[in-house]
Amino acid sequence: MTHRSIGQRSIGFLGKYWGIIGVLLLWQGWIWVKDLNAIVMPQPFDVVKDLVTHPGIYISNAALTLTLAALGLVLGMALGTLIAVLAWTSRLLSGVLIPLGLIFSSVPVVALIPILARLLGYDVKTVLAIVVIISFFPAFVFTSAGLRALPAGSDDLFRVFGASPWQRFVRLVLPSAVPSWMIALRLSAPPAVLSAMVAEFLMGTSGLGYMFRQSAADFQTDRAFGTSVVATAISVLCFTLATLAERRVNARWS
Amino acid sequence: MKLTRHQMQDLALGIIGILLFLIGWEMIGYYKLAGLTWPRFSTVMAYLFDPSRRGLFGRAMASSFSMILGGYVLGFVIGLGAAMLSYLVKPLQPGVDRLASTINAIPPIALAPLFIVLLSRDVTGMAIATINVFFVIYVAATSGLERSRQNHRDLFAVLGASRVKRLIRLDLPAALPSIVSGMKYATPAAFIGAILGEWFGASRGLGLLMVSAMQNFQIPLLWSAVFIASAASLIVFGLMSLLERFVHGRFS
């Protein structure tokens, strides 16, 4: 193992994070130049201070949002996979369902939130339903594509060996859908957090989105900014985890 | 364009799927299976195409679509510019990558108040659309720019082409299929950005119609506004898919 000097390490760090550091400096500089009030825009330092001194409120709300997002993601993907498998069994069903799935995944589903809010009521149930719907479409579309993308020749091999349809499905078709399934997971994870937050913002009674709205309404801008820092961190974390999972699965699978 | 028998069947089944969806929508509304907040498809269409509301929807569409288009163009230019810059000056790339993915991870509901302070309420939607489009285009363009063949690169090196010249003559054309795919996926992103932005206090636009209709229980208005946004996004997405098919056929 090579030991890198502190100087090399800090250059490596700067190389990766100069953009983010630059934005923070711009933010601070903007406040100094414009002499902005903390109600209009807090200083980066104040935001960090609020994060460090009140970790409890951030953690409890973040845990709530994360739980909702994760639960919704799992349910949505399970539902999407199930319907994709159902569609795979019948040419008629897939012909009818896949175009609809494509249509809905190219439509701004977030715009449906006001309708769902009216349909299901203003509470946690609706927030969950929204995350389920948002993660459903990518899971359905990608799983459907994956179930059809069999490795060349493998299907003939299974037929030659006289595999039953069920064996063919479990041993060949499902495994070959796993890589596309992982793409769906990576694509759905950040929007799941995002849509949970938007839904909480519009109609929630708890969670990060609600906390953001409350603190913005009370002019606690340092807390509002702190909430977005936490939300951003969660979103980055989810994306990174999904990408790592995808890489590991793909490494084992192909 | 000639369709095979198989494609004809797919097309027919797709149309049946859409018809079934619309009939289902109509039936749920007719029998009030989902309560009063689920109107019939025909009610929404009648509401949408009523001549007396042409002005209302026309103004909202003009405002939202101009914000979406503005955000799309701006996001495209910035995204492609950033990708080209980090391609030409390689040491910059890790930093730009991190910055782009961090900005993309900031939830728009947290960005909206910031833009309201920094810019104005009416262009907040455009700013969020810009950020959404920027990220998609940046990712698509950076991966596309790596796609030119090594032997072509060697040829350019041997003939003594500058990096800029290689970018324009070789790498950009090679990146075109990837960029066009990015443009396709940026379409819903632009719509989502603009509509979300309008939920936070724009004075006009489809997003404003949605939120005020939701709060005032104007159900046909709510569904009409969502329908317009979804249909418009779908149409642009479809056109982009055609463009994508053309470019992929020509350049890859």
The pLDDT profile of chain B, 252 residues, written as one tens digit per residue, is 567 888 888 888 889 989 999 999 999 988 888 878 889 999 999 998 988 888 999 999 999 999 999 999 999 999 999 999 988 888 888 888 888 888 888 878 778 777 877 787 888 889 999 999 999 999 899 888 887 777 887 888 888 778 788 888 888 888 888 999 999 989 999 999 999 888 877 788 899 999 888 888 888 999 999 999 999 999 999 999 999 989 888 876
Residue contact A197–B107, C-beta within 8 A: yes
Q: Torsion over CA of B169, B174, B179 and B180, rounded to 10 degrees? A: 100
Asked whether residue B187 falls in the same domain as residue B142, the answer is yes
Instruction: Give the span between the Cα atoms of B230 and B121, in whole angstroms.
Output: 23
Asked whether residue B2 falls in the same domain as residue B57, the answer is no
Residue A229 to chain B, least CA–CA distance (Å)? 8
Asked whether residue A178 falls in the same domain as residue A244, the answer is yes
Please name the residue of chain A whose CA is at the shortest distance from the CA of residue B198.
A111
Number of domains in chain A: 2
Residue contact B99–A19, C-beta within 8 A: yes
Instruction: Give the span between the Cα atoms of A117 and A126, in whole angstroms.
Output: 6
Asked whether residue A169 falls in the same domain as residue A138, the answer is yes
Work out the number of other CB atoms within 10 angstroms of the CB of residue B40. Answer: 18
Instruction: Give the span between the Cα atoms of A142 and A189, in whole angstroms.
Output: 14
Question: Residue A137 above 50 pLDDT?
Answer: yes
Residue B142 lies in a domain: yes
**Which two tokens mark A228?**
């977005």
Asked whether residue A32 falls in the same domain as residue A158, the answer is no
pLDDT digits (tens, 9 = 90+) for A35-60: 777 777 788 888 888 888 888 888 88
The residues near B48 (Cβ < 8 Å, ≥ 6 apart) are B57, B224, B227, B228
Asked whether residue B94 falls in the same domain as residue B203, the answer is yes
The label of the residue with tokens 């389920």 reads A132
Question: Residue B82's domain is classified under what CATH number?
Answer: 1.10.3720.10
Asked whether residue B126 falls in the same domain as residue B193, the answer is yes
A-B interface: how many C-beta pairs under 8 angstroms?
A: 141
Asked whether residue B26 falls in the same domain as residue B71, the answer is no
Residue B22 to chain A, least CA–CA distance (Å)? 11
Q: Report which residue type is found at B192.
A: I
Q: Report which residue type is found at B204.
A: R
* Rg from Cα positions in chain A: 23
Residue B149 lies in a domain: yes
Q: Are A162 and A233 in contact (CB under 8 A)?
A: no
Q: Name which of B9, B102, B196 is nearest A232 (Cβ-Cβ).
A: B102
Residue B244 to chain A, least CA–CA distance (Å)? 15
Number of domains in chain B: 2
Q: Report which residue type is found at A231.
A: A
Structural domain span for residue B226: 53-251
User: Sign of the C-alpha dihedral, residues A197, A203, A208, A213?
Assistant: positive
User: How far is C-alpha A143 from the geometric centre of its chain's CA atoms?
Assistant: 17
Asked whether residue B24 falls in the same domain as residue B57, the answer is no
pTM metric for this prediction: 0.84
Asked whether residue A97 falls in the same domain as residue A129, the answer is yes
Residue A50 DSSP SS3: helix
Asked whether residue B33 falls in the same domain as residue B119, the answer is no
Assembly ipTM: 0.78
Q: Name which of B95, B188, B223 is nearest A108 (Cβ-Cβ).
A: B188
Asked whether residue B57 falls in the same domain as residue B11, the answer is no
Concatenated DSSP letters of chain B:
-PPPHHHHHHHHHHHHHHHHHHHHHHHHHHTTTT-TTS--HHHHHHHHT-GGGHHHHHHHHHHHHHHHHHHHHHHHHHHHHHHHHHHHSGGGHHHHHHHHHHHHHS-HHHHHHHHHHHS-GGGHHHHHHHHHHHHHHHHHHHHHHT-S-HHHHHHHHHTT--HHHHIIIIIHHHHHHHHHHHHHHHHHHHHHHHHHHHTTT-SSSHHHHHHHHHHTT-HHHHHHHHHHHHHHHHHHHHHHHHHHHHHHHHH-
Residue A200 DSSP SS3: helix
Q: Name which of B37, B96, B117 is nearest A118 (Cβ-Cβ).
A: B37
- A84 contact B CB<8A: no
**Which two tokens mark B7?**
């494609």
Residue B20 lies in a domain: yes
Asked whether residue A73 falls in the same domain as residue A111, the answer is yes
Asked whether residue A15 falls in the same domain as residue A98, the answer is no
Asked whether residue A56 falls in the same domain as residue A77, the answer is yes
Residue A3 to chain B, least CA–CA distance (Å)? 22
Residue B44 lies in a domain: no
Question: Residue A46's domain is classified under what CATH number?
Answer: 1.10.3720.10
Where is A204: in which H helix or E strand? none
Asked whether residue A242 falls in the same domain as residue A176, the answer is yes
Residue B178 lies in a domain: yes
State residue A3's pLDDT score: 64
Q: Are A88 and A173 in contact (CB under 8 A)?
A: yes
State residue A142's pLDDT score: 87
Please name the residue of chain A whose CA is at the shortest distance from the CA of residue B18.
A100
Q: Are A220 and A77 in contact (CB under 8 A)?
A: no
Structural domain span for residue A157: 41-251
Question: Residue A95 above 50 pLDDT?
Answer: yes
- A182 contact B CB<8A: no
Asked whether residue A177 falls in the same domain as residue A224, the answer is yes
Q: Are B219 and B213 in contact (CB under 8 A)?
A: yes
**Which two tokens mark A46?**
């104040």
Question: Residue A2 above 60 pLDDT?
Answer: no
Give the pLDDT band (50/70/90) at residue A1.
very low
Residue B133 lies in a domain: yes
Residue contact A114–B210, C-beta within 8 A: yes
Asked whether residue B22 falls in the same domain as residue B131, the answer is no
**What part of B 4-43 touches A (C-beta under 8 Å)?**
9-10, 12-14, 16-18, 20-21, 34-35, 37-38
**What part of A 97-156 touches B (C-beta under 8 Å)?**
97-100, 103, 106-108, 110-112, 114-115, 117-119
Instruction: Of A161, A139, A159, give the one whose Cα is nearest residue A150.
Output: A159
Asked whether residue B17 falls in the same domain as residue B65, the answer is no
Residue B24 lies in a domain: yes
Upper half-sphere CA count for residue A59 (Cβ side, 13 Å): 5
Instruction: Give the span between the Cα atoms of B95 and B99, in whole angstroms.
Output: 6
Asked whether residue A20 falls in the same domain as residue A46, the answer is no
Residue contact A111–B214, C-beta within 8 A: no
State residue B186's pLDDT score: 92
Residue contact B10–A197, C-beta within 8 A: no
Residue B182 lies in a domain: yes
Residue contact B226–A114, C-beta within 8 A: yes
Asked whether residue B175 falls in the same domain as residue B218, the answer is yes
Question: Residue A176 above 80 pLDDT?
Answer: no
- B233 contact A CB<8A: yes
Where is A68: in which H helix or E strand? helix A55-89
Asked whether residue B32 falls in the same domain as residue B58, the answer is no
Please name the residue of chain B whose CA is at the shortest distance from the CA of residue A192.
B107
The residues near A71 (Cβ < 8 Å, ≥ 6 apart) are A128, A131
Q: Are A85 and A124 in contact (CB under 8 A)?
A: no
Asked whether residue A138 falls in the same domain as residue A69, the answer is yes
Asked whether residue A24 falls in the same domain as residue A114, the answer is no
The label of the residue with tokens 């951030």 reads A58
State residue A76's pLDDT score: 94
